[in-house]
Structure 1
Amino acid sequence: MTTTTNPGRSIRLFLVDGSPTGLLTAEIMNWTGHVLTGPRAKLGELVRRPEVARTGVYFLVGPDPDNNLRPLVYIGESDDVSARLKDHNRPETVDGPEGKGSKGGKDFWEKVCLVTSKDQNLTKAHVKHLESQLMRLARTLGRCTLVNGTDHDYINLPEADLADMAFFLEQIRTVLPVLGFDFLRDTARPPANSEPAQPPQESPHFALELLKHGVRAEAQEVDGEFIVLKGSRAREDWVGVDGGYQNLFRQMVEDGVLAPSGSGPRQFTSDCAFSSPSAAAAVVCGRSANGRITWINTATGQTYGAWQDQLVSSANLEEEIDFA
């Protein structure tokens, strides 16, 4: 019988107008929080909902014209979220002789997500604390470009309230990726060497080598992400055709994740998570590459694709045994 190390969670999603691109609410069983999200085009409908007039935190999300790999995000709080959203819907600039910016106006965002409480027990102090913690996390994780100004710490809460808000924050981080907002999601990390031996289902180490160019990278799959390990080496420059993962390669160079090593190939300065083995292979090789055949299991010599196929076959065999 197959077992899991993490318990499942139940999240209730509701399409307010029956459309997957319209307003959507989300709730987690045994959590007092209530999440509402929708496109900016539906803001007129969203602000008329009763929960939007409550105290809460909210996220404005839109594309970054200078970086198509990360969204722009603004994190805010208010004791009347609807009023703040109306302010943010104004243009950033105002025509006229003074040419001053409109107070609170923001042009970049295309989606909004707000978190309030079903029991209405969130106070102004609670949401100010949540806002500060959310901003800190967003900057630390680096999955978005934060539009907010200077970070601020707000810890003026009783000990019991701090514990409640820590739990509330974790629920926010659980539900947002389900709604397509990944900027607060932790980057998966490989297990430390000091931890107990991995169960058979966990990913082995994979290697990709370009001996002619002095390139060798090692990687591991953790929690659905393909992670190239710190110290791995990659091609010095992108040598493939324009497009594909070229922008990802360039962005990683700009961010310092792929740093010059002084001897030709670049070096990963930290563990780096990719959406697929092929994305990782392309960055390592400096050109498009099929990660299912270029990453090799260092223990067995299998390709990544063969290893994954073996996992699927083993799962089918276990299912047949369970039903026998």
Structure 2
Amino acid sequence: MNQGRSIRLFLVDGTPHGLLTAEIMNWTGHVLTGPRSKLAELIQRPECGRTGVYFLVGPDPDNSLRSLVYIGESDDVARRLKEHNRPEEQGGKDFWEKACLVTSKDQNLTKSHVKHLESRLIGITKQLGYCKVINGTGHDYGGLPESDLADMAFFLEQIRTVLPVVGFDFLREQNKPSSSATTVSKQPVNLSPRFVTQVPKHNEQAIAQEVDGVFFVLKGSKARDAWKGLEEGGYRPLFNQLLADAVLQPDGNGLMVFTDDQAFSSPSAAAAVISGRSANGRKVWIVENTAQSYAEWQNQQLSQLGDEQPVNNTNAIVTNLEVTDD
């Protein structure tokens, strides 16, 4: 089992949409986030006068399913945020709506440290592909002493743990079924059985599997070659985006093929993309080599729990979010 973590959240002005700080017990890092509308308040915080890395996040006008992200570093983040707030013709950036700053409570982060973190964060974010990074090519700042490199590896791991908790998912590690099968991931993973569904009007199948609660359609699965549904909304934008991203490519036989394991928000989202129209994924996905639907399989997991009392497992995954209002 994964080791539990305790994360302390603080609503600075007592509202869920204002400034927010986050800390992990036994970690020297400190996270501060806030909307651009609260920038005047944010830059007055003492954290903004420290050395750190920061993220600017906003919508991508060319892709409604993803965000634009800029990753930077500075020994005076307040000054850099002021510069980014200028109009674009004056060297600023218009796209961002939220800012997130990561500093150290003991103020032991140096310029070399944050340059290294910036480089690693840009590389990881681009590799994961959850968003579009608008930085240029990241520089390689690997010339730190061995002990500092180890410290920054731990610091980076904590950043990747806490940022999804405060609403920034672009650094979240994704355990794909293919990598889970080869134990590439450092963490244990929970794998479901494999599910199959038929591509409508074709003798071809798509295969899916849940990994740590995320529903994936596996590489090599087939899908319709175009959206067939009448509705303009729904999952049609997702279908079109997967085409644009080359996740779906022609297989040469009138269908599309998944070029990689693809995560979906639900079994129904996956089923809609494969069918080319809205579909109830809880019904159409069937446990491989059985007649059991996804819904029936899920209900079976619940029924097997019976009336057993909860087990006190000291290794249980628990995230303790403490919100303080003083």
Q: Once the 2 structures are TM-superposed, how far is the Cα of residue 192 of structure 1 from its aligned partner?
A: 5.0
Distance in 1 separating the partners of 2:241 and 2:8: 36
Distance 1:320 1:63 in 2: 42
1:319 aligns with 2:309: yes
Aligned to 2:24: 28
Q: Which has the higher contact order (CA 8 A, sep 6+)?
A: 2
1:172-191 equivalent positions in 2, closer than 5 A: 172-190=159-177
Name the aligned partner's letter for residue 176 of structure 1: L
Q: Which runs of 5+ in 2 are unaligned?
A: 313-326
- Post-superposition Cα deviations, 1:22-76, rounded to whole Å, max 9, x if no partner, equal 0000001111000000100001101001111000000000001110111000000
Verify: 1:106 aligned to 2:93, yes or no: yes
**Partner AA of 2:48 in structure 1:** V
Could you tell me how far 1:321 is from its partner in structure 2?
9.2
Normalised to the residue count of structure 2, the TM-score between the two structures is: 0.90
| Paired position in structure 2 for 1:60 | 56
Structure-2 separation of matches of 1:321 and 1:118:
37
Which whole-Å CA distance do the structure 1 matches of 2:180 and 2:150 have between them? 28
Contact 2:235–2:278 under 8 Å retained in 1: yes
**Of 313-322 and 279-288, the range deviating more from structure 2:** 313-322
| Secondary structure, aligned partner of 1:203 | strand
Task: Give the deviation of 1:320 after TM superposition.
Answer: 7.4
Counterpart Cα distance in 2 of 1:69 and 1:193: 28
Task: Work out the number of aligned pairs and report it.
Answer: 305
CA distance in 2, matches of 1:213, 1:136: 40
User: Structure 1 length normalisation: TM-score?
Assistant: 0.90
Contact 1:215 1:235 in 2 (8 A): no
- Partner Cα distance (2:114, 2:181) in 1: 39
Give the conservation status (yes or no) of the 8 Å contact 1:55–1:81: yes
Partner of 2:33: 37
- SS in structure 1 opposite 2:304? helix
2:199–2:274 contact (8 Å) kept in structure 1: no
Letter in 1 for 2:96: W
SS in structure 2 of the partner of residue 128 of structure 1: helix
Q: Find runs of 4+ consecutive structure 1 residues off by over 6 angstroms.
A: none
Q: Is the 8 A contact 1:252 1:258 kept in 2?
A: yes
Cα RMSD for the two superposed structures? 1.7
Within 1, Cα distance between the matches of 2:66 and 2:288? 32
Which of these residues, 272, 280, 302, is aligned with residue 282 of structure 1? 272
CA distance in 1, matches of 2:278, 2:204: 15
Within the alignment, does 1:209 sit opposite 2:205 as a pair? no
- 1:269 counterpart residue number: 259
Say if 1:309 and 1:261 are closer, same or farther in 2 by CA, change over 3 A: same
Residue 321 of structure 2: aligned partner: none
Query: Could you say which residue in structure 2 is the equivalent of 1:220?
Result: 209
SS in 2 for 1:114: strand
Q: What amino acid is aligned across from residue 197 of structure 2 in structure 1?
A: L
Partner AA of 2:261 in structure 1: D
Write the distance in 2 (CA, Å) between the matches of 1:77 and 1:235: 45
1:313, distance to aligned residue in structure 2 (A): 2.1
Q: What SS class does the counterpart of residue 59 from structure 2 fall into?
A: strand
| Ranges in structure 1 where 5+ consecutive residues have no aligned partner | 94-101
Report if the CA contact (8 A) 1:129-1:155 is conserved.
Answer: yes
